[in-house]
Amino acid sequence: MLSYFIIILVCITLVGSVSFYISYKTMASQAEAASLLLVQQIEKNMDNDFHSKRNLLLASYNEQSYIDGVNRYTELSDRERFLFRQKIGDLYLKSFNVTPIRDFLRFQIYYSNGELLSSSDESGQHNPAKVRGSEWFRQTVAKDGEVFYSGFIPAADRTIDGETAYFSSIMIRDFSNPEQFILVRAEYRAELFNSIGRNDGLSPNSSIVILDEGNRLVYASGDAQRYAGGKELTSRINGSQGKFWLSLDGEDRLVSYTNSSYSNWKAVLIVPKHDIFGALDIIKTTVIVTAFIAFVITLLISVLFGQRITKPILDLYKTVNRIKRGDFSVRVEVRRNDEIGRIGMNFNAMQDELQNLIETRYVNQIKLQEAQLAMLYSQINPHFLYNTLDSIRAMSDYYQVQEISEMAQSLADIFRYNTKNKDEIVTLQEELVQIEAYMNIQRIRFEDKISFEQQIDDDLYSFPMLKMTLQPLVENAVFHGIERKRGKGTIAVIVSREGGSITLTVKDDGVGISDKHLADIRSSLKPPLQQGEGLSSDTRSGIGVLNVYSRYRIRYGERFEFHINSRKGTGTEIKLLIPEHLEAHS
């Protein structure tokens, strides 16, 4: 449940974070592009207005008499000068008033020597030397016929009410007489920039800043007046256009600017970050609230319906644990008909089948193995034979027939080993003694046709093993291997240690086993629960092998290994790998 909640919380957080990040980047990109478009539009409007005002400044070029008057001004009489000054003043007065310019304040006309020729009001500087030394005069002359725009007006030049926001000036002359010229200067209010500031596309807290060619402040709207002239802003305004984020008064602001190629003025738009991402803050709050509500609803649903899913699974888990401890009588209580209920019903059916298999197959198979072992014992177990064998041995001694005496003694030893030793576990030494007695009988029977060899590690004689392990294997080697062979044969018993197992090998050089017969024997070597009803008539010769295999497999399980290898005419090898240090199955 905790993992489920964590996954949901992580997913909601991840989706919200990614959505917020994408929205933030998208809005930032759109805001930057929109701000740049707005400031470009401001620049365009400003340039259009400046171009119209330039045409008014060039009004004297429309009539040659004005240019001639400029060229001959120094040669004119006082009366002619007065008339020229009045005529050119009237010209510009009509130019600026025929088509009213809402932000126009005044104009002045100065001659090249600094003399004031005309003025639309009482303003104007009457000191020619001071006029020639002023910055605007020198800058206008340097423009050489281009319009000079400036927002820098010294306090001494601010006449009357000081409403002047900026001015434009131009040099008028005959190109054939560069020394004789007039300068026409027009001053304007800030109405142009105020109208730009009322642009519907601007956010409420946005500010417009206009800088002249020297990065001096011409106009600033809103609270931009406080910082617009600072170097922190102007130092980063370079190039024809651009945008950057600037921290001012503890708040980030997007600054977009463009440099007019016509006037060389800069139009700057400053938008607070809150105006750009205000809607995003609402989205962020909405996402957080939605995520919290979704998490709470998920928690409630999980608590209400989680138990309906987990409780029957926990009951099934507890039942499995009881079965693991050996209690096969327990069953799952089924109270529902959904997938979990069907799992419980199938589990109960599996339990019934498993218990039935245990009772009918496993128990019966063990009984069958015990019956086969008892049958093997009973083949050589009749007690009345003891007295008979003793009588035979006594008679052979009396008549001095040594072979009969030895055979009777060996047979008696074998019977005693099987009947008197009731323990299922014996030592390797005890098994070898019984095999020696058995092989002694076979040597007398076959007149030394069979040779018996032992290769035993010295420390393994006390190794514990199941009773009657070697005898069925050696017997198979005698009757199915050496007895059918022409000439002598050898049977070898080899016991050694390999890794964590004791390897017991019985091999002979007899007639061997055909491939089909060997395949049948190998296929019969299965765990007791998987064995069939018994060996077929063709594989009856493997009953002793199967008996040994089954007894060890029941005791040691998969830790026990059994291998049988043979080829027709080359002999047979049977190898048992018995765990050395592991306890047997209970």
Whether residue 468 lies inside any domain: the answer is: yes
Q: What is the helix (H) or strand (E) element at residue 220, kind and residue range?
A: strand 217-220
pTM attached to this predicted model? 0.49
Q: 3-state SS of 146-166? A: CCEEECCCCHHHCCCCCCCCE
Rounded CA gap, 261 and 532, in Å?
103
**Residue 76 maps to a domain:** yes
Residue 179 located in a structural domain:
yes
For position 53, what pLDDT does the model report?
85
Residue with the larger pLDDT of the pair 472 and 533? 472
249 in a structural domain: no
Query: Is residue 303 domain-shared with residue 335, that is, in the same domain?
Result: no
Q: Are residues 495 and 347 in the same domain?
A: no
- Is residue 483 a part of any domain in this protein? yes
Tell me the percentage of the chain whose pLDDT exceeds 70.
82
Q: Residue 215 domain-assigned?
A: no
Residue 402 lies in a domain: no
Which pLDDT value is given to residue 192?
81
Whether residue 341 is found in the same domain as residue 297: no
Q: Are residues 489 and 452 in the same domain?
A: yes
The pLDDT, as a whole number, for residue 381 is 43
Whether 363 is in a domain gets the answer yes
pLDDT at 424 over 70: yes
Together in a domain, 285 and 365: no
Do both 161 and 71 map to the same domain?
Answer: yes
Residue 585 CA to residue 330 CA, distance in Å, equals 24
Q: What are phi and psi of 260, to 5 degrees?
A: -70, 125
List CB contacts of 413: < 8 A, sequence separation 6 or more.
433, 434, 437
Mean pLDDT score across all residues of the chain: 80
- Dump strand ranges (E) for 231-383: 241-248, 251-259, 266-272
CA dihedral 358, 359, 362, 367 (to 10 degrees): 160
Question: What is the tally of structural domains in the chain?
Answer: 3
Are 304 and 335 members of one domain? Answer: no
CA angle 49, 52, 55 (to 5 degrees): 150
Structural domain for 559, as ranges: 421-579
pLDDT digits (tens, 9 = 90+) for 327-378: 767 777 777 777 777 787 887 888 777 777 766 666 566 666 665 665 555 4
State how far the Cα of 311 lies from the Cα of 314, in Å rounded to an integer: 5
Same domain, 429 and 357: no
Do 297 and 355 lie in one domain? The reply is no
Whether 303 and 348 map to the same domain: the answer is no
Per-residue pLDDT band at 538 (split at 50, 70, 90):
very low
Same domain, 338 and 471: no
Identify the CA nearest to 228 among candidates 198, 214, 248. Answer: 248
- Phi and psi torsions of 209, nearest 5°: -125, 130
Q: What percent of the chain stands above pLDDT 90? A: 16
Confidence of residue 172 (pLDDT cuts 50, 70, 90): very high
What DSSP state is assigned to residue 35? H
CATH of the domain at 494: 3.30.565.10
Residue 88's domain is classified under what CATH number? 3.30.450.20
Residue 149's closest CA among 232, 49, 1? 49
Higher pLDDT, 226 or 208: 208
Examine the domain organization and report whether 121 and 38 are in the same domain: yes
- Give 254-275 pLDDT, tens digit per residue: 889 999 888 888 888 888 887 7
Q: What is the mean pLDDT of residues 197-217?
A: 77
> What number is the average pLDDT over the span 48-58?
87
If you write DSSP's letter for every residue of 510-563 in order, what string do you get? SS---HHHHHHHHHH---GGG--S---GGGGGGHHHHHHHHHHHHHHGGG-EEE
